[in-house]
Structure formats: structure tokens, C-alpha cells
Amino acid sequence: MTTGNSGSPISRYTKDRKVGEGTYAVVYLGKQVNNDRKIAIKEIKTGLFKDGLDMSAIREVKYLQELHHINVIELIDVFTAHNTNNLNLVLEFLPGDLEVLIKNTSVVFKPSDIKSWLLMTLRGIHHCHRNFILHRDLKPNNLLLSPTGELKIADFGLARAMGNPNEDLTSNVVTRWYRAPELLFGAKHYVEAVDMWSIGIIFAELMLRTPYLPGKDDLDQVDVTFRALGTPTEQNWPNVSNLPLYNALKVYPPPSRQELRNRFSAATDTALNLLCSLTELNPGKRCTSTQALLHEYFTESPAPTLPSELPKNDVAGGDSDDDEPENKRRKV
């Protein structure tokens, strides 16, 4: 067996700075010595905990080793280093994320910018879905931005392969605000549609510049979600009442078109159409990544902004070495 990279130059990595520490990993920034490429090293503590190698580390390695796409974070290397049993994951370094940008009110988003970010997110998730992988934790904080403006989906710690027909999945996934109604109802069987919902909510957040459905707790999330989008009924979602947590619901009517227009005053009618089909309550009717990518929204004017021309965070200033504060916030 010959190696695919035989003859490749010696690659070394430096660990320059610790930028974050979580329960099971420490994140360092560094460089790939031979080409000065910036990288992030996630050092995973093994053996320290009572249950061995953390499951999210397994998932991250398992899925990122397989997925290679411009809109998915690249796992460059996996290695164990001397003196420890720790596992090091070398990831490409991405200085910004969408959440920081959304919160930065000094940056103006043009409709074409939003279109570009949404397009890149959909391309990334389409690649996951066509490889039968569910991400299960999409949120602006996990959509990272490269120095050239490319958006990349990161954090595969909750990802998993699509379930088998007779298998129960846990409904306790996805950060609360981005959780699809079937998950709120405790569904044990779900598909790619949970990721599509999250993307719909992120789309709304990009337009509103504030979280669309910010529930205070799991119960409140149900209320906030259905107050905004209407309570699902047997009519628009057959058999919904059989889901475990479908009970004691306050019935809200679905929002009228005019209400939605008022809510998203800057959105075109086509943009609203896409938003509605991404946030369709019934997961069976929600649009897939393929349908979303083929949506008229992406062909109508204005064309999506080129990644390199997308707005960036000014706070970081010219020297990208200073954007450490953003990274610190990121959960490990």
C-alpha cells in the first residue's frame, strides 16, 4: 500500500497560543510551519475522564475525515503527541463567525450579502446531507468565516449518520433557539429537515439582526416558536398529536402574509417564500437542501455577493492576530 501523499514535505505545527478550554478539549492557535498557514489545534484529553474518549471527539474525527467541501471546516490532521495520551485535531483556522458579525451593529448587511451567506450554508449542509450526515447543531456561532470570506460549517460534535428506520434518536439536540418543532415535540425519528429548520431560523436572524425565536427555556421555546409561526394542527401536519410532547398547547393562528411582510420589511416576496418553506412546521413538507439551492431566490436579482467582498468584522482591525477575543467566546 502506498501513501497518497508520498513525497510531501515535512509538515510541522506550532502551538502559539491557548485560546479556549472546555471540559474535554483545549484549543490552541498555531501555524503549519512549512507554509505559514494558520491552524487551530484541538487537543482532546483522553483517559482523564471516567468514560474514556469523548463521543463528540469521535464524531468530529469520524465525519470530518470523510467530508471535504469548501463550506465545511477542514480537518487537516489527527495525531497523538509525545508524553501524553492526548489526541490532537488540526483544523483550519477560521478567524470569525456569523454570530459576531450579526451582533456587530456597525456592519451593514446588504440583501446580496445575506444571500451569499445563506447560499454557502446551504451548499455546506447539502454536502453533509448527501453523505447521509446530520449536523444537528446549526447556529450562527457554528458558521465560521475564513479570511477570504468563505463560510464554513463547523463543530460536528453532535453530528451523526442518518438513523435506521427502527432506531430511536435523541430529540435533545440542536441549540434551543434553532430547534425544529418535531424536536420540540420530542420526536424520536427525524431526518435532515431538522438542519433545514435551523437554517431557516438563521436566515431570519440574518435579516432581523437579532435572534428570531429566543425562547428562555424549553417550554418557552415552544410558545415563542408557535406564537411566531402558528401552532401545528392535525390539518397542516397529520399525526402531529401522536408525538410525545404534543400536549397542553396554546393554539396560535399561523401568521398572515402581511404579518410576515411587516416582520421582514426588507425581504422580497421570493425571499419570504424561501423562508416560509424552510420554516415549514411539518418536516415532511419542509424544503430539502436541494430544493432550497434551486430556489428562485438565488437566481433573482441581486446576485449573491462574492465571498471576498462580504463584510468582515472591523473590530479585528488589519492584523488578524488581534481577533483572539472572538475566538475566546467560542465554546469548545
Partner 1 sequence: MSASDGPIPHVSQSGAKTGSQQQHPPSSKAPPPIVAVTQVSRPFFTSSELKYLLQQTIPESKKVLYSQKKHQVFQFVFQLIKTVKFPLRVLATTMNYYQRYFLFNKWEESTSSGTNGTTGTPTSVQEAHELIIKQHERDPFVIAMSCLLLASKNEDCIKKLKDIQVVGNKLRDIDDQDSKGLYLDFQRKAILNIEFKILQVIKFDFLNGSTMNTSVDQLLVQFCKKLGIDYIHTMYSWLVSFDIMSTPLCLMIPSHCIAVAIIIITLNVKPKDIVHKFNRGEQQLSSHDLNVILESLDCYSQFRCPETLVNEGIIYVLDYYVHNMNYSILNEYMPAIDADTGKEQIFKFMDLKSRFNDLKILDEASCSERDMLRQDYYLKPWDYSLSAKGCSRFMLGNKRARFELELQFEQEYKKKKVSEVSSV
Only segment of 8-16, 113-121, 227-235, 250-258 that touches partner 1 (CB under 8 A) = 8-16
Only segment of 60-68, 139-147, 269-277, 311-319 that touches partner 1 (CB under 8 A) = 60-68
> Which one, 84 or 239, has the nearer CB to partner 1?
84
- In the numeric block, the cell 397529520 is attached to 238
> Which one, 169 or 267, has the nearer CB to partner 1?
169
> Which one, 83 or 258, has the nearer CB to partner 1?
83
The answer to the question of whether 26 is labelled as a binding residue is yes
3-class SS of residue 212: coil
3-class SS of residue 97: strand
Restricted to residues 122-161, the positions that interact with partner 1 (CB under 8 A) are 131-133, 160-161
Restricted to residues 71-130, the positions that interact with partner 1 (CB under 8 A) are 77-88
Q: What is the DSSP string of 105-150?
A: TTSPPPHHHHHHHHHHHHHHHHHHHHTTEE-----GGGEEE-TTS-
> Which one, 195 or 205, has the nearer CB to partner 1?
195
CA angle, 287 then 179 then 323, to 5°? 100
- In the numeric block, the cell 418543532 is attached to 181
The answer to the question of whether 42 is labelled as a binding residue is yes
Task: Please give the Cα distance from 119 to 41 (Å, whole number).
Answer: 28
Count of C-beta atoms within a 10 Å radius of residue 181? 27
The answer to whether 240 and 250 are in contact (CB under 8 A) is no
Please report how close the Cβ of residue 180 comes to partner 1 at its closest, in angstroms.
19
Site string for partner 1, 27-56 (x = CB under 8 A): -x-x--x---------x--xx--xxxx-x-
Please report how close the Cβ of residue 137 comes to partner 1 at its closest, in angstroms.
15
Helix (H) or strand (E) holding 58: helix 55-64
List the one residue out of 84, 86, 116 whose CA is nearest residue 24: 86
Which amino acid is residue 129, in one-letter code?
H
Only segment of 12-20, 95-103, 179-187, 308-316 that touches partner 1 (CB under 8 A) = 12-20
Please report how close the Cβ of residue 252 comes to partner 1 at its closest, in angstroms.
35
The answer to whether 114 and 203 are in contact (CB under 8 A) is yes
Active site residue 137: yes
Task: Please give the Cα distance from 260 to 14 (Å, whole number).
Answer: 50
The answer to the question of whether 27 is labelled as a binding residue is yes
Which cell numbers hold the place of 30? Answer: 498555531
The answer to the question of whether 108 is labelled as a binding residue is no
> Which one, 32 or 279, has the nearer CB to partner 1?
32
Task: Please give the Cα distance from 45 to 52 (Å, whole number).
Answer: 9
223 is a contact residue toward partner 1 (CB under 8 A): no
248 is a contact residue toward partner 1 (CB under 8 A): no
Longest dimension (CA), the chain: 65
242 is a contact residue toward partner 1 (CB under 8 A): no
Of 137, 155, 195, 323, which one is the catalytic site residue? Answer: 137
**Residues acting as catalytic residues:** 137
Binding residues for ATP: 19-27, 42
User: What does the binding site for partner 1 look like in residue numbers (CB under 8 A)?
Assistant: 1-18, 26, 28, 30, 33, 43, 46-47, 50-53, 55, 58, 61-63, 65-66, 77-88, 131-133, 160-162, 164, 167
Binding residues: 19-27, 42
